[in-house]
Amino acid sequence: MEEEAEAEEQQRFSYQQRLKAAVHYTVGCLCEEVALDKEMQFSKQTIAAISELTFRQCENFAKDLEMFARHARRTTINTEDVKLLARRSNSLLKYITDKSEEIAQTNLERKARKKKKSENGNHNSRELAEAGVVESEK
Amino acid sequence: MERAGAGAGFRKELVSRLLHVHFKDDKTKVSGDALQLMAELLKIFVVEAAVRGVRQAQAEDAILVDVDQLEKVLPQLLLDF
């Protein structure tokens, strides 16, 4: 029994390590962009520190988001919850609010395009189906 | 498919996994839009840390951003988030 618990603990640990590695990679890419833009290099330790910080900040974010959603009697976290997260700085809140509208707009357009495509598809397949029915009746 | 905001960023799947690790309730879910927004938030968090580090290094006439510079900008960064 103890071995099982230990194995589970190991699995959880290595999963977290893989997540941390993924975060580290993304942080590295973002810092590289900033470094190019500002013409200033980052030490490896700095990138590692930002990466560790981001990973830990996710824990705070996740717990807050879960609580916000539960407070609103929901199980699904939505964009309103995320906006609440960004409340501490006015400029951050504004940026996130604008982004939220941009995302909503983009997704709306994508859905409209998809719907149009599927309507055309249905129209074509209905024509084919009717043709098929006529065939078999013969 | 246009991508708003060129350059690196956090993938939705990574963000989802990062959040789910810390949820207390198994039933908690995250909407797609919220995931996208969280990816943006995390991106800003990293970029802010980086840019503030650069500003600190520039103020100190340092040749690169080292942990010493990062430590100085950390308190305000965490307060802003």
What is the reported pLDDT for A127? 63
Nearest Cβ partner of B65 from A46, A53, A106?
Answer: A46
Q: Domain total for chain B?
A: 1
CA–CA gap between residue A67 and residue A69 (Å, rounded): 5
CA–CA gap between residue A110 and residue B7 (Å, rounded): 21
Does B75 map to a domain? yes
Chain B neighbors of A114, CB-CB under 8 A: none
Measured between CA atoms, how close is B36 to chain A, in angstroms? 8
CA–CA gap between residue B69 and residue B54 (Å, rounded): 8
User: What value of ipTM does the predicted structure carry?
Assistant: 0.91
CB–CB contact A92 B79 (8 Å): no
Pairwise pLDDT comparison (A119 vs A27), residue with the higher score? A27
Domains of chain A: 1-62 (1.10.20.10)
Q: Tell me the residue length of chain B.
A: 81
Task: Give the model confidence (pLDDT) of B5-48 as tens digits.
Answer: 468 999 999 999 999 999 999 999 999 999 999 999 999 999 99
Does B5 map to a domain? no
Nearest Cβ partner of B37 from A45, A59, A79?
Answer: A79
Does B7 map to a domain? no
Does B42 map to a domain? yes
Does B22 map to a domain? yes
Domain CATH number, residue B28: 1.10.20
Measured between CA atoms, how close is B53 to chain A, in angstroms? 9
Structural domain range at position B28: 12-80
Q: What ranges in chain B are assigned the alpha helix state H?
A: 12-20, 32-59, 67-80
Indicate whether this model's pTM tops 0.90. Answer: no
